[in-house]
Amino acid sequence: YQGNITIPVIVNILEDPAHPITQAHIDSQIDILNEDFNDLNPNTGGVPTEFNDDIADCNITFVLAGVNRKASTKSSWGTNDAMKYASQGGIDATDPTSFLNFWVCEIGGGILGYAQFPGGALETDGVVIGSDFFGENSRGGDYGYGRTATHEVGHWLNLRHIWGDGRCRQDDFVTDTPSSDRANYGCPSYPTVHCRTNDMTMNFMDYVNDNCMYMFTNGQNDRMRALFAAGGAREGFVQ
Ligand code: ARG
Ligand code: ZN
Ligand code: CA
């Protein structure tokens, strides 16, 4: 399927009074996703010449379809998916075959967010984001510009970390992302060389600061697109 894909988004918020999520946070997060998945990231001009032809317009539109709020004083939800079950104090997912569910809560442990890859259990399908890192958020510091959601939606659409979570020969199954053997942090200078090639540190699937990541590649786009083909794991999103 080659056309524009529209992803209806449900935002499930476990409200902690010390970390409020406003409508402005929600709206800015939707805007940021739409920038990043349509080659409209404001920093894309910083992509080095050698990677210019690799920049992808993924042609995916995110639309806010609903917001669910539930009071919670839990300050450390962890990563065991409790926030996805009403029976455990969380909020049940809204039909994950046709909605992208976000859960926004205090995760703890210094974790910005986490996602479920396609093909997993339906009731836990979606993306969890720490409340200070959702949308444009002054509490998030270097991670307060909404790129954790972009990165996690990349995982939700089957993308691996750009270094493949391993040594040089460990692949991310994408040919136009250079091999690397580690995550990069902060805002790396160019070139940053690992495995004898320049790292694509500005890729959304690295670990750099929000304002220092600003591209997906055409190969990553192909990998995401494959999910929307007939029989693909995210086929239910094609209208
Ligand atoms: N640590 C998280 C993960 O591996 C997210 C990293 C997001 N990085 C960022 N600059 N917001 O899924
Ligand atoms: Zn990741
Ligand atoms: Ca690669």
Q: Is 24 helix (H, G, I), strand (E, B) or coil?
A: helix
- Ordered alpha helix ranges (H), 56-196: 147-156
State residue 239's pLDDT score.
80
Q: What is the DSSP letter of 222?
A: H
Q: How many angstroms separate the CA atoms of 175 and 72, rounded? A: 44
What distance, in Å, lies between the first and last C-alpha atoms of the chain? 11
Residue type, 14: L
What is the per-residue pLDDT for 175?
98
Which amino acid residue places its CA nearest to atom 12 of ligand 1? 114
Q: What is the pLDDT along the chain (239 residues), one digit of tens a residue?
A: 889 999 999 999 999 999 999 999 999 999 999 999 999 999 999 999 999 999 999 999 999 999 999 999 899 999 999 999 999 999 999 999 999 999 999 999 999 999 999 999 999 999 999 999 999 999 999 999 999 999 999 999 999 999 999 999 999 999 999 999 999 999 999 999 999 999 999 999 999 999 999 999 999 999 999 999 999 999 999 98
If one residue of 114, 207, 215 were mutated to test the ligand 1 pocket, choosing by the most ligand atoms within 8 A of its CB, it would be 207
Run of H or E residues at 21: none
> Is 50 an active-site residue?
no
Residue 149 near residue 113, CB atoms below 8 Å: yes
Ligand 1 atom closest to Cα of residue 206: 8
Distance (angstroms) between ligand 1 centre and the Cα of 230 equals 30
Q: What integer pLDDT is reported at residue 1 of this predicted model? A: 80
